[in-house]
Homo-oligomer: A and B are copies of this chain.
């Protein structure tokens, strides 16, 4: 008796996962985190109207969700000034990125991204046998010119760029992204991850005609809307591309409760405006905490802040480990020189208080280890 025969591609894939969840860490530690500030979650939570809509939908969960996500797409189309046919809704940006890679990347196909950018995108590219070509960050920003230059060389199926960026929190003005779109090589698609763009300065989101075939942009309810656990993402792009998702997507993959929650969240503009202020204030607070400890916080266009710990990656990792041991969940970039930073999510005052109380001791202990 042998097991199943995997595909040759699957046989080559490592058993790695893109992220270890905080729950896994908690189980290893034997106690819960006191402050959950590591996954760029939005601890301020979703709109009370969204919570109410989800609670109300719980009783209707015997029904599958609408596989066309009709109501949500109508609302999103009105919100973005495009047609519903320009929008595909999916189980978070992660799932949609997986579908997009599957649509375009066959074994050996080239894909361009930045060294240190979103690991889950890389996970999908590797998972479909694509070859990743990476460009270093420049000045803690993804480097549009270098991405385009490399793309002209390797003619990739996809170029990934996040604006604002994760894990550094930096953002390019929309015009820089527009210039990228103009320079995308023929047959290459620009994958514009805008997971955090609602939290960025005015002008960060470029005006791109939805029918432009050179770019697809991704948005989510996980960050500004505080609904990471609901798994609602969407992409905006040209109709033929959006329609192609129907060839492969999990049509009945959306939770009916999440559909209801996203719709209610989208309609609550008052809460959104309030949320943007709360997050901006929390960003400032994290900057203050950093300064109190002699560290500098990088400017952030997102709901998290990268704090430069002032030394190398080993030191930042020591700081992170000391914080973890003290019950404070934060994460850090994976590659140098970004990994001189720890990354702290914007969250409620009480969580930031705990972070503020824990940081000096963590720094002391990390320095003592070095």
The distance in angstroms between the C-alpha atoms of A41 and B62, with both chains bound, is 6
Partner of A64, one of B41, B189, B240, B261: B41
Q: Is the CB of B4 within 8 A of A248?
A: no
- Which A residues lie at the B interface, using CB under 8 A? 1-10, 13-15, 17-19, 21, 23-24, 27, 36, 39, 41-46, 51, 54-55, 57-68, 70, 91-92, 94-95, 98, 102-106, 109, 120, 127, 157-158, 186-189, 212-214, 222, 226-231, 238, 240-241, 243-244, 246-248, 250-258, 261
Q: Are B258 and A255 in contact (CB under 8 A)?
A: yes
Interface of chain A: mostly helix, strand, loop or mixed: loop
User: When the two chains form their complex, are residues B58 and A94 in contact, meaning their CB atoms are under 8 A apart?
Assistant: no
**C-alpha spacing A226/B64, complex, angstroms:** 10
- State the copy count for this chain: 2
Rounded to whole angstroms, the CA-CA distance of A1 and B212 in the bound complex is 8
Q: A62 touches which one: B227, B244, B246 (CB < 8 A)?
A: B227
Are the C-beta atoms of B24 and A68 separated by less than 8 Å? yes
**Chain B residues near A23 (CB-CB < 8 A):** 66-68, 70
Residues in B neighbouring A238, C-beta threshold 8 A: 3
Taking a contact as CB atoms under 8 Å apart, the answer to whether B54 and A42 are in contact is no
Beta-carbon contact of B62 and A46 below 8 Å: yes
- A-B CB contact pairs (8 Å), 8 listed: A1-B214, A6-B244, A7-B109, A13-B248, A18-B251, A51-B59, A62-B229, A64-B228
Known contacts A62-B42, A230-B256, A250 near B157 by CB under 8 Å: no
Q: Separation in Å of the A289 CB from the closest CB of chain B?
A: 21
Evaluate contact between B27 and A70: CB separation under 8 angstroms.
yes
- Docked CA distance A188–B6 (Å): 10
Instruction: Contact check, A21 vs B66: say whether CB atoms are below 8 A apart.
Output: yes
Q: Does A252 contact B226, Cβ atoms closer than 8 Å? A: no
A229 touches B65 (CB 8 A): yes
Known: A91-B250, A92-B250. A4 touches B157 (CB 8 A): yes
Task: Verify B4–A250 contact, CB threshold 8 A.
Answer: no
Name the contact of A63 in the complex, choosing from B36, B253, B255 (C-beta under 8 A): B36
Closest to A45 in B: B62
The reply to whether B14 and A253 contact each other, CB–CB distance below 8 Å, is no
Q: When chains A and B are docked, how far (Å) is the Cα of A27 from the Cα of B186? A: 39
Minimum C-beta distance from A48 to chain B (A)? 9
Complex contact A213–B3 (CB within 8 A): yes
Return the chain B residue nearest A48 by Cβ.
B59
Q: Kindly provide the distance from the CB of A62 to the nearest chain B CB, expressed in whole angstroms.
A: 4
Would A261 and B10 count as touching, CB distance under 8 A?
Answer: no
Residue contact A8 to B106, C-beta cutoff 8 Å: yes
Nearest-neighbor residue (CB-CB) of A186 within chain B: B2
Compute how far the CA of A43 lies from the CA of B63 in the bound complex, rounded to whole angstroms.
8
Contact B3 A240 (CB under 8 A): yes
CB distance from A344 to the nearest CB of B (A): 16
- Which of B187, B247, B261 contacts A14 (CB under 8 A)? B247
**Quick one: closest B residue to A181, CB to CB?**
B1
**Inter-subunit contact B95/A244 (CB<8 Å):** no
